[in-house]
Every structure is written in structure tokens, then in C-alpha cells.
Structure 1
Amino acid sequence: MSVAKNVLRKLLYGVGMFGLIHRLRNRHTLTVFMFHRVLPKQSAEYQAAEKEFTFTVEGFGQCLDFIQRHYGIVSQADVTAHLNGQQRLPQCAGLITFDDGWRDTLVHALPELKKRALPAVLFLATEVVDLQANDWWQDVLVELIAQEGGLSRMESAIEALRASALDPDKKSVLVGRHQPAEDYAFRLRRVTATLAAMDESQRQAILQPLVSRSPGARQMLNRADLDLLRPWITIAGHGHSHAPLSHHPRARDDLATCRAQLQAIDGEDTVMSFPHGAYDQATLQQAQAAGYQVCYSSDPTLVNTTRSRSTPTPGQTLLGRIHIPENEWTCDENGIAAEKLATFVFFRTIEQ
């Protein structure tokens, strides 16, 4: 059955049926593509990277070719102007975005964008450009959590620090042990938010005894790198510490610090995406109060470009994004399969 399905899918794409459906169905939509990392397949960095969020350079180029073939690519400035009623977007509009601030966005993704003259947006967790450690603490955390019992070990380490904390302000940002009714995702977000609220030395004191890594090159962008991204990549916000803001004990401060940093580097200080896709109504209100007018979620929906923008709150817009992986959903044995990628993105729900 799966073989017949794949043959049919390839045939429908090959004769242009999928493309025709896309041009009709999605003509008044904006598809916001979400990427994270781009690395050479044979590199040690790729072998160690979290594959769900990592593209090979070759696969990324194939994906860009597909996107350029089927979408009218726009910049964040175009999107902002559209939302302000100043211009229309092209039919089947597309916006390319990256999250976090990985240095491979500059080293490997940017050259592929330049080859095709494609603009993009980087949602930068502004803290990363000033971190001293070469390994990003959240990547270290991912490695730890992947180990058996890793999350429980992390919670125990935080609880030990909490018990020894003498400063009430520091103690207040540290979570205790989880309750039996809490699910795994909630626990992970809470631990991540707790670490994010610490300073770098506190995080390292917790993580280093739990995860052993050989010294490597810097993973994240630094301040000097940011100018090299321009003019192709616009820099917007992704929180300061990359905490899941709905769980952050000081989310308002994190949002304000991120915006101040964006202003200092001449970024788009009224545009952000929510780290980990974590938000709730309170987070939206905090983001608006901090001055963010355009917020992107990780909700996998296509943006309806005919919709009047009066929600979630006056003066603020929330837009969905589609996470694109390089895996069995989008690939065959030869790499990115256009017919698979088409079915992955063309038929997503269009917001009402």
C-alpha cells in the first residue's frame, strides 16, 4: 500500500497536480518555514546534532529550491508592511526563518540563501552572542535529557542548588522536585526555564558534572557575526535566554532584555517568536507590554493573508510557522523528495 501511495504521490506531483492545488488553495496564504541548524553531513557537528532540528547542507539547498519554485519569497519587512496595510503579499507567499542563533546559520545556511538571492529572518536568543562557553547550555541539556534518567538527574541537581541557596531572590527562581501528576513535557519546560533564569556560571556548575564533552568550536553566533548576516538575514527576537516563556519565573524581564538587545544591534525590536513554541494568554500580554507587535508561534498553520488582524489582542499579531525536518516525512533514499515535501506543507490548515 505504501509503495502504491508513493508512486501515486510522485505521479501527481510530476504532472503538476499538487502544484495546481497549491496555487489555488494557498494563493491567499503566507507559509512561514522554520529551520534551526544546517551542517555538512560528514562533519562531527552534524553527527552530534539533534537530527529533528538539523539539515544537511545539500538537503537544505534542495529544500530552498523547492520553496523558491512554489512560493513568492518575502522578507520580514514585507510581512510587517502587509500587516500594517501598506502592501499586499504575493500569492503563495513564503517567509524563511531560523531559530536560536547557531553559528552554522552564518557559515552554512547563508551561502545557500545568497546563491538563490533569498531573504530570511533569524529569531535570535539574544543572550547567546555574549556567552563565554563554546557549547550552548541548551544543547548540553538536550544531550543530558536524552540519557536514561537524565531529566530526573537534572531536577535533583536543581533541587540541591535550591536547598543550598541563601539568597531569597535566587531561591525563588529554582524549582523543586516534580509532582507525580506532572507530565514529561511540562517537567522539561520547567527545568529549561529554571536554568534559563540563572546566570551562566550557575548553569555551568550544574551541567558540567553531569555531561562530559570534548572541547570544540563555538556553537553560537557572537556579536561580530551579526553584521555578516546582513542584508540577507533580518534579526528579530527569540527571548533573551531562550526559556519557554510560559514557564519562566521572570518572563517579563526576559522579554524586555531581549528587546533592548535587539535595539542595540539594530534588529527588528517589535518582532519575535516564542522559544520552544511555548506561550499562553499571559505570555502574549507580556510580549505586547514589552513592545512586540508581531509574534510567531510554532503552531503549524498557514497564515491567512486576507484575515483582519484584531487578535489575540489589539495591536499585536500572532502568526503560525511550519517546522521543516529532513527525515522520512520529506525525504526518500536520494534526499529531499519534492512530492513528499509538497504533501508535508501544501495541505496544512489555513487559519480562519
Structure 2
Amino acid sequence: MFSDRMRKLAYGSGLLGLYHRLRNQRTLTVVMFHRVLEISDPRWHSCDPEYTLEVGLFECCLAFFRRHYNIVSVDDVIAARRGARALPPRALLITFDDGWSDNVDFALPRLRAASMPGLLFVVADVIGRRLPFYQERLVGGWRLGRIIAGKLLAATGSAQLLRGNTLVDLRLAIAVLEKLDDNARERVLSAFADETDDGLSHMVASEDLRTLELGGIAIGLHGKTHTPMTRASDLDAELGGARGIVAEHLESTKPPVTMSFPHGSYDPAIVQCACEAGYELVFTSDPTLNLLESRPGWLLGRVGFEQSDIVDRHGAFRADKLALLLFCKPQRVLATDSTD
């Protein structure tokens, strides 16, 4: 829509900000992060760049949010949902997915310094686990030069050939691996076990969740195993069962009342199951701004972005890019009630 020069001019002149203030007055924007790391951290060398933000850029994002939004907590959203109080104009909620230990190390201190709350959706089975999900382990092994995309693809039994060994090629191989049944996938992964272990600890422990809670980061659920819920063999375990597991690790010991769908995967039947499991708010990965009517909807969209989306070719933060990415997203009401 915009050339680079036009985008800079629109943001620098204040026109894009004015557009946002008028257009998005009655919306709730929910932003979605995953990992936040310093380049000097050993985990940086094996992390998935698609889901990782350098800590300085994260600070720039927080400053941008402060300038253009009113930051709210999930308790504020729940209170508005219950009709206790209204959300402020241009409300924004900060969320994180999965349960990465770097959220404690790097995201939490920056949020506390900015006096901003947040919400972490944790996968129940990763609590206290050292290694990340198999997709991230494979990306890590590839980034460390230990895995070749073509060899991984061949191990799946696929006759497809890859032209190179780029990250795109690796993701194609991982997509094939994801379609295998659990036993076949584990056989493939076991052959690459040494290549995918970087020796580092990536996921949160129980004490990390309590630290996050005390620091103003609420805890929600992101499934039990991180399996896409449309493929889950035991949906009750992924939804209701996982609530009890996570509650055992929390300071409050109360089961989470919010959740997000792993991989953004859901359908109407899964939404109904989430309702029956007792969640007050359910978050998708649908990239929409949540239009507020009399109160926030029960099913909410979220906007995510990669580091490459918000920087120039030298890696410097570009506020105009983030503004265009967030301000112009479609406005929707995904579901006003859990019965919709």
C-alpha cells in the first residue's frame, strides 16, 4: 500500500497516528510475542528467528505502545467482559506464547521498568523441561550447522527433493514431519537427538511462573502438549486437564481462566470445548483488532510480527513499519459470547 518514503512521511507527520486515534478508538489490540533475547545470550545462536525479538527492539516496541495506546492487564479485560468497568480508548494487551525462560530473564525486567502488565500462555508439559519443542530444536540444530534440511526430509520417508539447505527448505521438511503420526515422528526425531540438543535450558520452571506472577505477568494456558488442537487425540487433556497441571505451579494455585490456541489452530467445536472447560477469555492468532461493543468479546484476535517486519535493512527499529502493521489491521468481533 505504501512506499517506504510515503510510510515514513505518514508516520513522521502524525497523519498515521491521527488515523489510529480516530479509527481504533473503540478497539482492543492484543499483541503476541514469543521469545525475547539479548544477542550475547547463548540461546540466541539456536533460537528460531521467526519467533524471537532482540531485547533492544522489544524495548522500542514498549515505547511505541506507550506512545500510541493505553496498556491494560488481562484483569482489566476480564473486568470489562464482566461489565465491571470499561476499557480505555485504544486499549492494548501484551501477550507471550509457549513458556520460554527468556521471558523471565529479559521480557519481565523491561515490562516492570515500563510499569506494563502482560499475559503469558504456557504449555503445561514444558514447565520444568529443558529442551524446547521439536520444531525449535530442529531450527536450532540447523542454525548451529548440525542438520541438513534434505537429510531431515529424507528421514521422513518423503520422495520430495529440496534444492538447497536454507531455512525455508528446513521449514518445508518440518512441515512434512508434522504430518506424520506420533510414533513415526518420534522415530525420525530420535535419529537427530544429538544434533538438536544445544545443551541449554529454554523453558520455564515452576519458580519462573511464580516470579512472572509476582512481577505482574498473568498466566494463561497454551494447551498441554503444544499440539495443534485440531490434531489433538485428547482434547479434554489439552483444555481442562492442562488447567489443573498449570495451577499446581502457580502462586495462587487457581486454574488459569484464559488460554490461546497452539499454532493458532481451532474450529467451532474446539471453541465450544474451551467454553465448557471454563475459560473466561480465549485468544486466537487471527490478526484482527477486537472491536469493542458493550464489552469485549469472549473470543479475541491477536497480532504478531517478526523482527524483520519492524526494522530497516540495517536492523534499526522502524516505528512507521510497526504503526502500519498494527493500525490498519481489520476490526472484527470474533464472538461476543461463548455460545456464539
Correspondence for 1:101:
99
- Distance of 1:270 and 1:155 partners within structure 2: 42
- Whether contact under 8 Å (1:234, 1:268) holds in the other structure is no
1:227 aligns with 2:227: no
The one-letter code sitting in structure 1 at the alignment partner of 2:311 is C
Give the counterpart of 2:310 among 330, 334, 340. 330
* Alpha-carbon spacing, 1:25–1:330, altered in 2? closer, same or farther (3 Å): same
- Distance of 1:267 and 1:139 partners within structure 2: 30
- Distance of 2:240 and 2:315 partners within structure 1: 45
The one-letter code sitting in structure 2 at the alignment partner of 1:230 is E
* Alpha-carbon spacing, 1:119–1:104, altered in 2? closer, same or farther (3 Å): same
Correspondence for 2:240:
256
1:56 aligns with 2:43: no
- Whether contact under 8 Å (1:40, 1:56) holds in the other structure is yes
Can you list the C-alpha shifts for 1:263-312, whole angstroms capped at 9, x where unaligned? 322356221000000001121122122222311000000001116678xx
* Alpha-carbon spacing, 1:62–1:288, altered in 2? closer, same or farther (3 Å): same
Name structure 1 gaps, 5 residues minimum: 157-182, 311-316
In the TM superposition, residue 325 of structure 1 has moved relative to its aligned partner by 1.6
Correspondence for 2:263:
276
In the TM superposition, residue 213 of structure 1 has moved relative to its aligned partner by 3.8
* Alpha-carbon spacing, 1:185–1:86, altered in 2? closer, same or farther (3 Å): farther
- Distance of 1:215 and 1:95 partners within structure 2: 33
Listed as ranges, the matches of 1:53-202 within 5 Å are 53-131=51-129, 133-142=130-139, 147-148=149-150, 150=152, 153-154=155-156, 189-191=178-180, 195=182
Correspondence for 1:210:
192
Identity %: 36
Aligned length: 309
1:346 aligns with 2:327: yes
Name structure 2 gaps, 5 residues minimum: 143-147, 159-171, 334-340
Secondary structure at the aligned position of 1:269 is classed as: coil
In the TM superposition, residue 122 of structure 1 has moved relative to its aligned partner by 0.2
* Alpha-carbon spacing, 1:95–1:309, altered in 2? closer, same or farther (3 Å): closer
Give the counterpart of 2:272 among 282, 285, 306. 285
* Alpha-carbon spacing, 1:309–1:24, altered in 2? closer, same or farther (3 Å): closer
Please identify, of 96-105 and 34-43, the stretch whose mean Cα deviation from structure 2 is larger. Answer: 34-43
* Alpha-carbon spacing, 1:267–1:95, altered in 2? closer, same or farther (3 Å): farther
- Whether contact under 8 Å (1:322, 1:345) holds in the other structure is yes
* Alpha-carbon spacing, 1:84–1:152, altered in 2? closer, same or farther (3 Å): farther
* Alpha-carbon spacing, 1:309–1:224, altered in 2? closer, same or farther (3 Å): closer
Correspondence for 1:237:
221
- Distance of 1:320 and 1:188 partners within structure 2: 28
- Whether contact under 8 Å (1:136, 1:220) holds in the other structure is no
- Distance of 2:123 and 2:151 partners within structure 1: 28
- Distance of 1:308 and 1:78 partners within structure 2: 11
Correspondence for 1:9:
7
Please report the RMSD computed on the Cα atoms of aligned residues, expressed in angstroms: 2.8
1:320 aligns with 2:339: no
- Distance of 2:179 and 2:304 partners within structure 1: 23
Secondary structure at the aligned position of 1:97 is classed as: strand
Secondary structure at the aligned position of 2:95 is classed as: strand
Please identify, of 44-53 and 340-349, the stretch whose mean Cα deviation from structure 2 is larger. Answer: 44-53
- Distance of 1:248 and 1:302 partners within structure 2: 28
Output the TM-score relative to the length of structure 2.
Answer: 0.82
Can you list the C-alpha shifts for 1:115-153, whole angstroms capped at 9, x where unaligned? 10100000000111143x445444225557982263563
In the TM superposition, residue 187 of structure 1 has moved relative to its aligned partner by 5.2
- Distance of 2:154 and 2:262 partners within structure 1: 23
